[in-house]
Amino acid sequence: METFSVAQDFLLNGEPFQILSGAIHYFRIPREEWYHSLYNLKALGFNTVETYVPWNLHESKEGVFNFEGQNDLGAFLDLAQEIGLYALIRPSPYICAEWEFGGLPAWLLTKNIRIRSSDSQFLTYVKRYYQQLGPILASRQLNRGGNILMFQVENEYGSFGEDKDYLRSLKRLMEKQGWDMPYFTSDGAWLATLKAGTLLEEGVLPTGNFGSKAEENFKNLQNYMKENSFEGPLMCMEFWLGWFNRWKEPIIQRDPQETVTAIMETIQRGSINLYMFHGGTNFGFMNGTSARGNTDLPQVTSYDYDAILDEVGNPTEKYYLLQEALGQWNPDLEQTEPLVKPLMESRVIQRKRSVSLWSTLDQLTSSKKSLYPMTMEELGQATGYTLYRKQVAYDGYPQYYRLVDVRDRAQVFINQIPVVIQNQDTIGESFEFHSQEQMDRLDILIENQGRVNYGHKLLAPTQEKGIRTGVIKDLHFLAGWEQYPLSFDNKMLQKVDFDGNWEEGQPGFHEFEFELEEPLSCHIDVSGFGKGFISVNGHNLGRFWEVGPYLSLYLPAAFLKKGNNTLLLFESEGVIKDNIQLGPKPIIKEGLEAQKEEN
């Protein structure tokens, strides 16, 4: 049985061991493609894989747990071990990761608790989750024949709080699950965050997160440990290879040679975890959101991250440059040729049929009635859209409306006529509508564009989505609402009924069918469409938006099949085309091409 411990060095079987790790998130890569990414990590010459564990993926509905299929963390770890990789596991309740709500379940927002704190009720929910997760990880520790070397207690907590009782409580909960391998924390490598986020008195190893200036950052970390009489090895737990991207902004990339030089400087001083080795995709509605002042800035569907492997999982220039540099640094390092996926050649598929959201709404979901609007969370919904509906009496000209405290993006229709689109910058501005009808049907389609994943706004009320206060007509709040929760999960999308009609300018569903002799990965060109998402054969590929920077969505071969395939596109602006193109390369909006940045 192998052993691993933390002393002045990492010790594997009693001998000094340098961790060369890469981040691969099992939840951002189709299960069928795990092997490809893990193999390429081993082929690079690395010995360890790191992954977060998102709580909201495994307990998206309170008390209902899912560790099967795509969520089978145990199978991911077993496969990594078969390939010859050790594992670092980051199962903290909060993960950041540019992931919806930083991995926290949305249902926590319905509780009167303080997240990421020693609040006893919050810890009770964490305990219940860990009781389900515990056996999966305990049995896969190195000292029990598995491959797990270490566990993370909390993630960048020094950038959020300084509640040491919370950190100690988390560690106790983990220990009760039989997780008895060493523990670590990861924080920015400067004094304030290290002081707030570490747990040295419990013997928990502090690690640093940075993407450059290894000498300076490791010196900060080393001095902090020395000043607190703590002995331990140096490790960069997140070496940032690139960055995430947001809508309307240029794609961020980093010079490959400069990146490799900075990686090698880090490796020569300590252990490393590359973030990301393979970024993958924010499938479905699981993208996170940045916070800038009063504005939340949703991140895009692609999590390419300018990583060592591209979004598809194929080696980039960084991969080959790094592999060469590693071989020169250590000629005895075991390295092999990486795997490369073939990609689909360009082809055009035709739109088969369309239907408006209004025409098929009753087939998709049932309404919930209330006097005043209910938030998405109160409706038991975590992600997607919610439609709010009310019959409004005509009171004479002019008729003014105002949406009060709404998140995130609202499309207003009256009698199915598009009236206004409001986002965070314009919510609250009044608008008018002149009708000749005695009764108007007011429809407000709200999109949850993603919850904040980092910083103080995790605690902000803006993370509750939908209509949070109400809708004003004239000077009074309207009462008597119907709400239609539109999670747009696969079960709901199977109910789309195309017997109804669709008119230009209306939100609706559009079906495309195509035949394949051989399923190959590709990118779907969505230029010429407005805003929405795409599902292929029941797999939600994520959001698209004409503002860019990406005008394509990645479609993995794993989601395709030989023979007939169905592409279902939901488009909310009423802007569509009669055909759509599949091809080998992502499409970038002109003017938002990559800009080079150094970390």
Residue 420 bridge partners (DSSP): 412
Taken in order 235, 241, 245, 249, the sign of the CA dihedral is positive
Rg (CA), the chain: 25
Residue 27 DSSP symbol: G
Contact present, 505 and 574 (Cβ < 8 Å) = yes
* Core vs surface per residue 479-504: b (16+ CB within 10 A) or e: eebbbbbbbbbeeebeebebebebee
Active site residue 429: no
Contact present, 451 and 101 (Cβ < 8 Å) = yes
Alpha-carbon gap, residue 569 to 223, rounded angstroms: 54
Alpha-carbon gap, residue 267 to 304, rounded angstroms: 23
From the list 33, 50, 100, 156, the catalytic residue is 156
Tokens 């019959």, residue located: 391
Which among 160, 141, 322 has a CA at the least distance from the CA of 241? 322
Token readout for 507 is: 């939100």
Secondary structure of the chain: what % helix, strand, coil (to 5)? 25, 35, 40
Alpha-carbon gap, residue 522 to 586, rounded angstroms: 8
Contact present, 443 and 385 (Cβ < 8 Å) = no
Active site residue 15: no
Which among 508, 505, 483 has a CA at the least distance from the CA of 493? 508
What does the H/E/C string look like for 407-425?
ECEEEEEECCEEEEEECCC
Token readout for 255 is: 């010079």
- Distance linking the first and last C-alpha atoms of the chain: 40
Token readout for 310 is: 């591209």
Give the length of the chain.
599
Alpha-carbon gap, residue 506 to 300, rounded angstroms: 24
Tokens 């599902």, residue located: 535
Taken in order 396, 400, 406, 407, the sign of the CA dihedral is positive
Phi-psi region for residue 381, left (φ > 0), alpha (ψ -120 to 50) or beta? Answer: beta
From the list 50, 59, 100, 238, the catalytic residue is 238
Q: Catalytic amino acids?
A: 156, 238
